[in-house]
Chains A and B, each alone.
Chain A
């Protein structure tokens, strides 16, 4: 039964892209009804405008409670009409494809509107530095002080640098274009893959829309970061291979190999995910063992093998810092804490609180409601699949089943990233499974047809999707980070401030690049990029700042780290740090548990010794030359 099912689906897809199972009530016409087109366009534009108003209010210092109202209205204006239309019966395949790509683009613009003139998210600075280094040296693997691993996955940096060199655009403009186009490619690829898997373009549209509700999609997945290029590259390669491997196996293999290579050099986790997907795909086909599918299967088998070898080979032999970054620093602590949580050794993390700030109460309810809707939908969809399980859905079903499990680490103090980041992968399969619910499907052996009911089902599906979207947006990003920071932040800033950028540029101009610098976590981002400095990792530099006076420990640490300069930002003495809850490093004492602001005396010590020299001061930013301490020439005069 499943064999025939898969064969029919693939025949349909292979013979022509436009003749995939067309359920009753679905039209194949490419004309988009003008009224709907207008309505969706106006709502999307209105939604973006509303979000721009919210952003501006936030910049001018309005409270989150007040400024967030137009933000949420804007999101609903974008999502609701577009989703309703995309999953309605009787809509053409082309229109659905355009709508899901538009959804991805509109959500991408939400992030662009929030940061219209510079990169602001932490990871963006990491890749800005990578790109700058490639532009400067014309070669790879220059040390990246912000994240050493990133230098060994240079796909995004090299592509952006190539574009900057070729067009003369700024790195910021080129980066926005690369990630924007990649997102459109990803939305379209996901739609076409889901269509091949489920046999319905209506379900495929629902699958992509469910994907857009994943917690990381709105901001994290729109950032200038390597994963956000690698995922689209993987998706388009998978689609191309699936689409062409039976007709042109050699060409499909060549395209697949190029895709695998591009993903391997761009992002570690996506590389492993792609290898796993290809192995899973091959296994499913191997178990089915269709004689007519053997030529295509050989392509998948070869790609799976090559992908495993390339990903593991690059990870071990080339990207040497990656293993400790990924496993020792991130994955294993998260899994360990999750295990400890399950056996009761660790207290569950307080959800919706960060740096002493607490999200509005309704957001907690929305988050739980969104997860509940999604878990129930997964259960309902899997129950439906149970009776006539199409083999093409096997991997998607595994991803859907894994979703509730992936929520558990969220309760562990260091498991948030693992849980959140896994959603970017799991939602691709989960979307295909949950998407089945938009049709009243009867998987039929002979026709693959699904019957559809009326507008009521579409409206309910849209409403539930909206609940999931709102819930997951509240889960994915701390509430105060959904809107831009105030131009004059009252507490500790969570984004790079203009005066720090100015100081960083001054340092580059007057001190040169690649000097050993100590600074807090946020200011290090500016120093490493706008200043081109060799900032010392917060895990190692925090003791230099935490000492209340210039003890021998502090001066020894300065000497050991070979620090030449420290940047002091007095704003950290204004309050407790927001997400991720530390000033310098998650290893500093009190990280995530602060109740009091950073001690002023700890910063004042840099100006109270003759061994340091103040070389820059503007407002609350100071740069001290500490090279006499690091060289050992002034240690005798240090006040113990």
Chain B
């Protein structure tokens, strides 16, 4: 439980930092780290929490995190560019950051519900 909580908290923290960096000035190396993690890892990692069992192999969780992040980031960037908002650093980071926080919370709720109803642990 502690490990799951830590990973959810870490996901939310990174997402929140990315959202803050989108509106406040930050050094470029910092932006590279947060930007890459948001495109390649965080959204997928947030999804995996509610999708794969905790007992799944680490390599499967890693693949799902990276692969689903690419899927989510592609959809988000196309959707933003197609909308009136437009694709900018601010719109992308805020959208993906908020989506990741939302997915983390949903994942936690799903896991908690599964555990409390006695179904297969998520």
Contact = CB atoms under 8 A, between A and B. Distances in A.
Interface string B69-89: 011111111101110001111
A163 B39 contact: yes
A236 B35 contact: no
B36 interface: yes
Interface in A252-295: 252, 255, 258-259, 261-262, 265-266
B74 A97 contact: no
B67 A185 contact: yes
A240 B40 CA distance: 17
B63 A166 contact: no
Interface string B24-35: 000010011011
Interface stretch (A72-80, A241-249, A416-424, A530-538): A241-249
* Size category, B interface: 35 or more
Contacts of B53: 247
Nearest to B82: A140
Given A168-B32, A181-B40, A139 B70 contact: no
A237 B71 contact: yes
Interface string B4-21: 000000000000000000
Main secondary structure of the interface of B (DSSP, over half): helix
Contacts of B70: 159, 178, 181-182, 185, 229, 232-233, 236, 262
Interface in A149-193: 154-155, 158-159, 161-163, 165-169, 177-178, 181-182, 184-185, 188-189, 192
B63 A188 contact: yes
Nearest to A234: B71
Interface string A294-326: 000000000000000000000000000000000
Nearest to B84: A139
B38 interface: yes
Interface residues of A, number: 52
A189 B67 CA distance: 9
A134 B87 contact: yes
A266 B78 CA distance: 9
A185 B89 CA distance: 25
Interface of A: 16-18, 93-94, 97, 134, 138-140, 154-155, 158-159, 161-163, 165-169, 177-178, 181-182, 184-185, 188-189, 192, 229, 232-233, 235-237, 239-240, 243-244, 247-248, 251-252, 255, 258-259, 261-262, 265-266
Interface of B: 28, 31-32, 34-36, 38-40, 47, 50-53, 55-57, 59-60, 63-64, 66-68, 70-78, 80-82, 86-89, 92-93, 110, 120, 122
Given A93-B57, A259-B71, 4 more contacts: A139-B87, A159-B78, A162-B77, A232-B67
